[in-house]
Amino acid sequence: MQEQQIISTENILLSAQGLHKSFGGLKAVNNAKIEVKKGSITGLIGPNGAGKTTLFNLLSNFIKSDKGEIIFDGQPINNLPSHKIANLGFVRTFQVARVLSRLSVLENMLLASQQQTGENFLNVWFQRKQIRKEELENRDKAMAILESVGLIKKVNDYAGGLSGGQRKLLEMGRALMTNPQLILLDEPAAGVNPTLIGEICEHILNWNKQGITFLIIEHNMDVIMSLSHHVWVLAEGTNLADGTPEQIQSNSQVLEAYLGE
Amino acid sequence: MVGYIVFLTISAGLYAIFGLGLNLQWGFTGLINFGHVAFMTVGAYTTVLLTNQGVPVILAVLIGAILASLLGLLIGTSTLRLREDYLAIVTIGVSELLRLIALNEEWLTKGAFGVQGFPLPLGKFDPNFFGKFIMIAILTIIAIFTAYKLWIGLSKIWRKGNRIGPLIWAVISGIILLLVYICGVIALNDYNYKAGLMLLVLVTLALVYSGLEILVNSPWGRILKAIREDEEIPRALGKNVFWYKLQSFMLGGGIAGVAGSFYAWQLTTVYPSNFEPLLTFNAWTIVVLGGAGSNQGTILGAIIFWGYDSLTRFVLPQLGILDNARLGAFRVMIIGLILIVLMIWRPQGILGNKDELTLGK
């Protein structure tokens, strides 16, 4: 836990205050707050239905919040469309790993690259040389990432043919391809076999060392407690507690929320 | 015989262009457009009305295509944010709306009386030997381009170890190509405007096809395909999904607008009843038959569609089993049956990729 002391308090990459979201009469997220320090791995836990995934959706603006303020890298992002948020270096993944089934693994990766010249309709006609150059560069980068996550043999396979664990890896690799500052991971270990869980954890630690910040929802307590520098606990849409993994593990309120009275 | 082959080539060619527009929207972007004929209506009426006022043909076609894509913009901005099924309903509504406007706004479209006597492209063209030579040369280039594309496609299948399939395809497509080429050369030599129209359709088709191939294989096309698969992913990766859907919808519409110009020139008289919703579903038949998401497939679909149409139109009456009224219905039923059989045994369409379908979502 030495890294924790290194991270200073003013280095907050993402902060959200007073977030509200109701679906009809159900208050899914009710006055929630979260802070993610630059360079950290931050955990978000809570019992089923606590509103964790909804909070993720609010942060990435996939769902618009009713009230509240979200600041990423010193800039309010409440009113930015979700694709602009991703452009800023804030990428999310999904609870059930989503891949583009009928595109190859490589194409899944190439899609993620930001600011591609060839994404503009006119450039397709007038910048062909530049596009070819970028495609080659992006291909090299994608290959390196795929190599590191062990999907290199699947490069030309359809992504729809991957197993659940491989999909998780592809999704993370794809997020990495965007050159992100912050990656939101929604249950990276769910439905993955124990060996692969270890592998995924190692990758996350590795990427974190390279300077990428993570915010992770996870039900697997071993994973979250071993990875995180700081953990936030959500229950029934509101903050229950936050602190270091040790503090959370010995917090009676948290144990109560998980185990019942 | 030559005249009929020329007619078939024009029909198949303009339906192929029409289908390519839909294939971009549905096959590559996953947008369900049940009102494709609306774009054709706009393209056709704009072209004939403008050329009637003395606007040059090329300019009129361009304006028609631009107006058709603006219609796409209009439909798109109001519906593309909604889910696909709503788009389907709105588009079919818009296409009927446009047809009814054409029927009732007589000051503009002459209503059910139809627009007649508009200028045709190359209509007064009387080529000398040199002109004919150039036209035949262009036709030859297109034929060689087609043969080359066929060769590449078939040798790919051949190398995968499949031997009989590509051989049969090579023979059939070779015969069709040769037949169209020979009839085309004869028709261009004994020049009339239909021969010129045929050449124009083929040139346009080749341009549209090549352009689309470049587009769908670019990073731009990759985003469209990603939207087709799951639009939340490109959104999470920083792509403006709505804007790309809109571009695809507008471009597909503009292409259908160009097809509309050719449709008008082939008809030589344009009535609102030429733009029934049936045309939209013909385009769907063509795209599904050939394989959604394959531009070659769409062209093949158009050829099969018109090949079937002419075969049954002439062969079935010879059998003398059914009277004419029943025969018409029977032919449509067979198309339905073919589609059902195709959906069971080859749901990816003729040129679709089978591997893609065995994937879980």
Distance from CA of B305 to the nearest CA of A (A): 27
Lookup result for tokens 């200028």:
B119
Residue A6 and residue A91 share a domain:
yes
A75-76 and A90-92 as β-strands: parallel, antiparallel, unpaired? Answer: unpaired
What is the torsional sign of CA B148, B149, B150, B155? positive
Q: Compute the nearest-CA separation of A67 from chain B (Å).
A: 22
User: Does the pLDDT value for residue A58 go beyond 90?
Assistant: yes
Quote the CA–CA distance of A18 and A35 in Å, as a whole number.
Answer: 12
Interchain contact A114–B (C-beta under 8 A): yes
Q: Which of B222, B229, B235 sits opposite A101 (nearest CB)?
A: B229
Both B281 and B157 in a single domain? no
Bigger pLDDT: A7 vs B261:
B261
The predicted model gives B13-34 an average pLDDT of 95
Residues A93 and A8 both lie in one domain:
yes
Which of A60, A103, A120 minimises the CB distance to B229?
A103
In this complex, do B222 and A110 lie within 8 Å of one another by their Cβ atoms? yes
Q: Domain check: are A116 and A241 in the same one?
A: no
Exposed (0-12), middle (13-18) or buried (19+): which is A156, by Cβ within 10 Å? exposed
Check whether residue B40 and residue B7 sit in a common domain: yes
On whether both B21 and B146 belong to a single domain, the answer is no
Whether the predicted pLDDT of B41 surpasses 60: yes
Give the pLDDT confidence score for residue B82 in this predicted structure: 63
Say if CB B198 and CB A45 are below 8 A apart: no
**Mean per-residue pLDDT, A10-21:** 88
Q: What is the pLDDT of residues B136-185, one digit of tens each?
A: 999 999 999 999 998 988 888 888 877 788 888 889 999 999 999 999 99
Is there a single domain that holds both residue B230 and residue B263? yes
The reported pLDDT for the residue numbered B361 is 40
Is A79 a member of any domain? yes
Mean pLDDT within B51-80: 93
B344 and B198 co-located in one domain: yes
Return the DSSP state at B293: T
B165 and B30, same structural domain? Answer: no
Please give the mean pLDDT across all residues of chain A: 89
What confidence tier does B357 reach under pLDDT thresholds 50, 70, 90? low
Of B335 and A232, the one with more pLDDT: A232
Same domain? A188 vs A250: yes
| A44/B328 Cα distance (integer angstroms) | 66
Nearest to B350 by CA among B310, B302, B281: B302
H or E element: which one contains A200? helix A194-209
pLDDT at B165: 81
Backbone angles phi, psi at A63, to 5 degrees: -125, 135
A84–chain B Cβ distance below 8 A for any pair: yes
Q: Could you tell me the sign of the dihedral formed by the alpha carbons of A85, A90, A95, A96, in that order? A: positive
CATH of the domain at B222: 1.10.3470
Residues A153 and A185 in one domain: no
Structural domains in chain B (count): 2
pLDDT for position B277: 92
| Last-in-domain residue among B139, B159, B190 | B190
Across the interface, whether the CB atoms of A91 and B230 are under 8 A apart is answered no
Record the tokens describing residue A118, joined without a space.
Answer: 């060839």
Alpha-carbon torsion angle B320, B323, B328, B329, nearest 10: -110
Q: How many CB atoms lie within 10 A of CB B130?
A: 8
Q: Is the same domain home to A15 and A69? A: yes
pLDDT value, residue B352? 73
Per-residue pLDDT band at B53 (split at 50, 70, 90): very high
Q: Quote the tokens at residue A234.
A: 């959500």
Taking residues A40-45, report their average pLDDT: 93
Q: Which carries the bigger pLDDT value, residue A9 or residue A140?
A: A140
* Res B342 pLDDT > 90: no
Asked if residue B233 has pLDDT above 50, the reply is yes
User: Percent of chain A at pLDDT above 70?
Assistant: 95
User: B238: distance to nearest CA of chain A, Å?
Assistant: 4
CATH number assigned to the domain comprising residue A30: 3.40.50.300
Predicted confidence band of residue B199 (pLDDT cuts 50, 70, 90):
very high
Q: Mean pLDDT throughout A4-8?
A: 46
- Is residue A169 included in any domain, yes or no? no
Considering chain B, what is the average pLDDT of its residues?
89
Confidence at residue B2, expressed as pLDDT on a 0 to 100 scale: 86
Query: Model confidence at B49, in pLDDT bands (50, 70, 90)?
Result: very high
Return d(Cα A16, Cα A42) in angstroms, integer.
14
Give residue A261's pLDDT: 52
The mean per-residue pLDDT over the stretch B254-270 comes to 95
**What contacts B190, CB < 8 A, 6 or more positions away?**
none
Say which of A98, A124, A125 has its CB closest to residue B232.
Answer: A98
pTM over 0.95: no
Residue B359, pLDDT score: 54
B62 and B12 within one domain: yes
Question: Does residue B273 surpass a pLDDT of 50?
Answer: yes
Average pLDDT over residues A55-65: 91
Residue A4 has pLDDT above 70, yes or no: no
CB contact under 8 A, A101 and B235: no
Q: Which of B154, B169, B190 is the last residue of a domain?
A: B190
Q: Is the pLDDT of residue A5 over 60?
A: no
CA distances from B67 to B62, B71, B72, B255, B270 (A): 9, 6, 9, 11, 18
- Confidence at residue A135, expressed as pLDDT on a 0 to 100 scale: 95
Residue A77, domain extent: 2-98+178-259
Identify whether A58 is part of a domain: yes
Is A41 part of a structural domain of the chain? yes
Residues B351 and B218 in one domain: yes
* Predicted pLDDT at A6: 46
What is the reported pLDDT for B355?
A: 61
Query: How many other CB atoms are there within 10 angstroms of residue A250's CB atom?
Result: 10
* B231 and B327 belong to one structural domain: yes
Percent of chain B beyond pLDDT 90? 61
Q: Are residues A37 and A138 in the same domain?
A: no
Identify the domain boundary among B141, B170, B190: B190
DSSP assignment letter at A61: T
State whether A107 and B235 contact (CB < 8 Å).
Answer: no
pLDDT value at residue A172: 92
Domains in chain A, number: 2
pLDDT greater at residue A82 or residue B360: A82
Q: Quote the domain boundaries for residue B258.
A: 2-126+191-357
Higher pLDDT, B360 or B129: B129
**Beta-ladder partners of A45:** A233
B174 and B241 in a single domain? The answer is no
